[in-house]
Amino acid sequence: MDVLNDILDTLNLKGALYFRTDFSNPWSVTVPDLNQAARFHLVVQGHCHVQFPDRSAVDLGPGDLVLIPRGRQHVLADSACDTAPELETVLKDVGYRGDGVLVVGEGDPNATTQMVCGHYTFRNGADHPILRALPDHLVTSASVRAREPWLDEMLRLVVQRVFSEEMGSTAAVTRLSEIVFIELLRVGIGQSEELQMVLSAFRDRHIGRALQLIHSRPAEPWTVESLASEVGMSRSRFAERFSELMGTGPMAYLSDWRLQKALSLLDDCRCSVQQVAIQTGYQSPAAFSRAFSGKFGLPPTEYRRNIA
């Protein structure tokens, strides 16, 4: 099975376009925190200075993209600045209602900063070593895109659809952006040693096979011994290698993944709590409820009532 697809599907990765910009200098805006989300900004024309609360910053030019995996607050501006108005203030001041282009200031249309800005959301409570391994930001430059024709073509299609303003463009952009997220993970490996380790687990002959087994049969009563036997490794070497690559032990990974699948089932299907417990490998609803409450702070029955 495609383990990465199963992960992103279970975590409920969804893309969303929130605006296209046309900013005339001078301009600046503070983008607030957004929980359970990853934001991206793709520069089509002009220049954008992106500054984070720790004072680190990146400068983007045409064709460059920054992905901010944990949706943390940041400032977008034409140049470095000490303060910037909040996004909601900017939207209110220009009367932006969520449709079309966010225009700030007046100037030569050939000299404005034009960007495509969007975000990815995940299911509330979504968690996985991939998400934990992501750095605070990932930059994909125009030069990197030149070496990655598949990603480059996807980003070109996103821009084309956004600027066409034809019926269905927004829906097309959100679907394309989800593919882009996967490509950005692959291309961004070089910017994060931790991410490189986690993603290398999927390609590892033994650990990759173990991940396939866990994801295809999460309800099976796996043990370290049985997984090690299935992939042809000794128990100790398997546990060591799994932990080295994934940043967590095989049984901890299995337990966490079962609870992520449980969230997905509780959200998306009509299964009873008892059926969800069985499908995710728990021997009783009581054991499932204890594990679920320990992870998410409330029992599964209450969680389901809250989303109903």
Tens digits of per-residue pLDDT, 259-271? 999 999 999 778 8
pLDDT higher than 90, residue 97: no
- What token pair was written down for 27? 């301009």
Domain ranges of the chain: 3-191, 204-307
Pick the CATH number of 3-191 from 2.30.110.10, 3.10.129.10, 2.60.120.280, 3.40.50.720: 2.60.120.280
pLDDT at residue 106 greater than cutoff 70:
yes
Q: What is the pLDDT of residues 252-302, one digit of tens each?
A: 999 999 999 999 999 977 889 999 999 999 989 999 999 999 999 999 999
pLDDT at 111: 86
Q: At residue 112, does pLDDT exceed 80?
A: yes
Q: Which CATH architecture has domain 204-307?
A: Orthogonal Bundle (1.10)
pLDDT at 165 over 80: no
Contact 1, 215 (CB under 8 A): yes
pLDDT averaged over the chain? 92
Mean pLDDT of 44-73: 95
- pTM for the full predicted model: 0.89
- What contacts 223, CB < 8 A, 6 or more positions away? 251
Going 280 to 286 to 287 to 288, the CA torsion angle's sign is positive
Average pLDDT over residues 147-164: 90
The answer, yes or no, to whether residue 100 has pLDDT greater than 90, is no
Task: Report the pLDDT value the prediction gives residue 1, as an integer from 0 to 100.
Answer: 59
DSSP string, 15-58: EEEEEEEEEPSS-EEEEPP-TTEEEEEEEEES-EEEE-TTS-EE
- As a whole number, mean pLDDT of residues 188-205 equals 91
Contacts of 47 (CB under 8 A, 6+ apart): 59, 60, 61, 78, 113
Residue 141 predicted with pLDDT over 80: yes
3-state helix, strand, coil in the chain (%, to 5): 50, 20, 30
pLDDT at 171 over 70: yes
What's the pLDDT score for residue 306?
Answer: 85
**Is the pLDDT reported for residue 194 higher than 70?**
yes
pLDDT of residue 266: 94
